[in-house]
Amino acid sequence: MSEPLPGAERPADAICDHCGRCLSVCPVYRQSLVETDSPRGRVELTTAVAAGELIPGPRFAEIVDRCLLCRACTLACPKGVDTPSRVIRARADLLRSRGLTARLGGAVMDALIAHRDLMAAAVRLGGMIFKGLPADDTGRRHFPEYLPRMLAGRGVPPVSARPLRKILPVRVPRAAGSKNRGTAVFFSGCYYGLVDPGPAEAAVRLLSLNGFDVIIPPDQQCCGAPALFSGRLEGFRAAMRRNLRVLAALDGPVISACPTCASALRIDYPAEADRLGGPEADLARGLAGRVREAVTFLADLDHPVLPGREPAVNRVAIHQPCHFVHAGGDSQAPADLLKRRGVDVVLNGTGLCCGGGGVSSLNNPDLAAPLGRAVAKTMAASGAEAALAACPGCVLQIGSHLGRLGHAMPALHPLELLDGKESK
């Protein structure tokens, strides 16, 4: 394998001691109990392929494709072995052997990531198609079960008629009478920028209420995580370079309501830029120190200000998304802020991955579905009125499985309830 680790920290080169601590936290291994589905197994196999001791075949490709890239194993590892980055490197090397369909799909992904207007048009088209899909008893829409396994039964989101840039101006001033805390830069990403702007609107309103002038850069584009997770390194690097130029030109903390975006900006950008060298390495390191997940950022403010109106629901269950927990988010922050709003948190974390990990959940629906169903069942049984998760993929995954289980409980981003635009 010739391609260096994208997004890797230097401990990725540490040698696995086979202690097995990673097995207890890996959602894939806990599901299958097969050694090759464990981080330890993936380290052994990718190391053997890199050394030329093993010729990668279809089974090897399946093994690296099944990793959810949740990063739980890296935190559990005493030596910090970065298995997800090894998996990404393996996916990058395997691209050369993929079929024509996979290569065309990757080319489309790269084109969408690089052109915001093209992605917006694709999202609008998708929204029109989704409206024609069947709905379950709770009104949530899903692809029919008879479609290929990647899509069969998969939930789809309602798509906003307008993207965030058509809803909010480039600069949103701080609320009148608020304490002046300076300027914050809001990175919307793709999902909250194009598909469901609600959490992004809530984040911007809360930042304004707390005394920030908020800049929403019009030239930002996808963080590149979908390309990175697929092993499409050139697509990721192109997105990284564009966003570095845009964000480095602005002052203030960079806030994201999507933990995957925050993870890419603060972890993957500096690692990959360091490997490539040049002035981008300094830009990426400087940016990484400014990036914050939105809920955690608000919770860390001195005396955070929240709307005075009554919240829409009174009892909630919170799911802790993998990238939120493992990439800098404070797992107590959503509960702390919600309690300040007078909301009763009946469950703060299920201790499980919901399986909603973007590319991996698409490639492995047989793995993602039982994970999502288990989390949905746990949250539905909690007695909560709403299921909350600070990640768009988790919100969609949990909401979809709640609907398929017949539960009308809404799945929301915590920011939507903290902002409280919709009152009872």
What value does the mean pLDDT take over residues 256-262? Answer: 94
Q: Give the per-residue pLDDT at 412.
A: 95
pLDDT band for position 309 (cuts 50, 70, 90): confident
Q: Is residue 113 part of a domain?
A: no
Q: Are residues 169 and 235 in the same domain?
A: yes
Q: Are residues 327 and 414 in the same domain?
A: yes
Structure tokens at 247: 């964000």
Q: Give the per-residue pLDDT at 157.
A: 86
Q: Whole domain around residue 329: which residue ranges?
A: 308-419
Q: What SS3 state is found at 35? A: helix
Q: Is residue 156 part of a domain?
A: no
Cα–Cα nearest to 395, from 324, 297, 292, 307: 324
Model pLDDT for residues 381-399, shown as the tens digit of each residue? 999 999 999 999 999 999 9
Model pLDDT for residues 261-270, shown as the tens digit of each residue? 999 999 999 9
CATH label of the domain that carries residue 232: 3.40.50
Q: Is residue 130 part of a domain?
A: no
Q: What SS3 state is found at 258? A: coil
Looking up tokens 């850069």 gives 217
- The set of long-range contacts for 196-200, using a CB threshold of 8 Å and a minimum separation of 24, is 196/157, 196/158, 196/159, 196/160, 196/392, 197/160, 197/162, 197/163, 197/164, 197/167, 198/160, 198/413, 198/416, 199/257, 199/392, 199/413, 199/415, 199/416, 200/164, 200/168, 200/257
The domain boundary residue, chosen from 271, 299, 327? 299
Beta strands 411-412 and 386-389 are parallel
Q: Are residues 276 and 336 in the same domain?
A: no
pLDDT band for position 11 (cuts 50, 70, 90): very low
Q: Is residue 3 part of a domain?
A: no
Q: Give the per-residue pLDDT at 347.
A: 94
Stronger pLDDT, 153 or 246, i.e. the higher one: 246
Q: Are residues 335 and 209 in the same domain?
A: no
Dist CA 92 CA 344 (whole Å): 45
Dist CA 263 CA 222 (whole Å): 13
Q: Are residues 287 and 179 in the same domain?
A: yes
Q: Give the per-residue pLDDT at 5.
A: 35
DSSP labels, 132-182? TS-B-TTS-BB--TTS-TTTTT-B-PPPPSS-HHHHS-SEEPPPTT----E
Dist CA 366 CA 389 (whole Å): 22
Domain count, the chain: 3
Q: Is residue 117 part of a domain?
A: no
The domain boundary residue, chosen from 97, 121, 150? 97
What value does the mean pLDDT take over residues 2-29? Answer: 68
Percent above pLDDT 90 for the chain: 56
Q: Are residues 180 and 294 in the same domain?
A: yes
Centre a 10 Å sphere on the Cβ of residue 13 and count the other Cβ atoms it contains: 13
The domain boundary residue, chosen from 299, 330, 350? 299
Looking up tokens 């370079």 gives 241
Dist CA 334 CA 417 (whole Å): 10
Residue 303 pLDDT greater than 50, yes or no: yes
The angle, 0 to 180 degrees and rounded to 10, between the axes of the packed helices 365-380 and 392-404 is 80
pLDDT band for position 103 (cuts 50, 70, 90): low
Stronger pLDDT, 326 or 298, i.e. the higher one: 298
pLDDT band for position 3 (cuts 50, 70, 90): very low
Q: Is residue 128 part of a domain?
A: no
Backbone angles phi, psi at 266, to 5 degrees: -95, -15
Q: Give the per-residue pLDDT at 99.
A: 64
Give alpha helix (H) positions in 309-384. Answer: 322-326, 333-340, 358-363, 365-380
Average pLDDT of the residues of the chain: 88
Q: Is residue 157 part of a domain?
A: no
- Residues contacting residue 133 through CB under 8 Å, at least 6 positions apart: 141, 142, 143, 144, 156
Structure tokens at 252: 């203030």
Q: What SS3 state is found at 364? A: coil
Centre a 10 Å sphere on the Cβ of residue 99 and count the other Cβ atoms it contains: 8
Residue 362 pLDDT greater than 70, yes or no: yes
Tell me what percent of the chain is helix, strand and coil, each rounded to the nearest 5.
50, 10, 40
Model pLDDT for residues 150-173, shown as the tens digit of each residue? 777 778 888 998 999 999 999 999
**Counting Cβ atoms within 10 Å, is residue 339 exposed (0-12), middle (13-18) or buried (19+)?**
exposed
Q: Are residues 80 and 185 in the same domain?
A: no
- Classify each residue of 57-95 as buried b or exposed e, where b means 16 or more C-beta atoms within 10 Å of its C-beta: eeebeebbbbbbbbbbbbebbeeebbbbbbbbbbbbbbe
Percent above pLDDT 70 for the chain: 93
Backbone angles phi, psi at 23, to 5 degrees: -65, -35
On the CB side of 245, how many CA atoms lie within 13 Å of its CA? 9
Centre a 10 Å sphere on the Cβ of residue 35 and count the other Cβ atoms it contains: 13
Residue 50 pLDDT greater than 70, yes or no: yes
Q: What SS3 state is found at 291? A: strand
